[in-house]
Amino acid sequence: MASVKIDSEKCKGCGICISVCPKKVLGFDKDTINGKGYSPAAQLLQGCIGCAACAKMCPDTVIIVER
C-alpha cells in the first residue's frame, strides 16, 4: 500500500493536493500549525493508491508518494 509524506513545515495549506486525490485520503491537519502559520495537508486515511496526483499538482513540491 502506498503512502503520502508531506513536508509540513513547507506546506502552505493551499489544498490543491486534497482536491485532486481520487481516494480522498488527504485532508488538513487541524491539530498542527507550521512555522508559516498554516494547517498543513496530511494523509488522514488509509487507502492511497500511489497515483501521485497530489505530488504532481503541489505548487511547492513538498509531497513524496512512497509506493
Listed in sequence order, the residues at least 6 apart from 19 whose beta carbon sits closer than 8 Å to its beta carbon are: none
Calpha distance 31→47 (Å, rounded): 22
Question: Residue 9 sits in which domain range?
Answer: 3-66
Give mean pLDDT in consecutive 10-residue pieces for the chain, a chain of 67 residues: 96 98 98 97 98 98 97
Instruction: Give the predicted TM-score (pTM) of the model.
Output: 0.94
Number of structural domains the chain divides into: 1
Domain CATH for 15 = 3.30.70.20
Hey, how many other C-beta atoms are within 10 angstroms of the C-beta on 36? 11
| pLDDT attached to residue 45 | 98
The β-bridge relationship of strands 63-66 and 41-43 is unpaired
The predicted structure's pLDDT at residue 1: 87
pLDDT given at position 36: 95
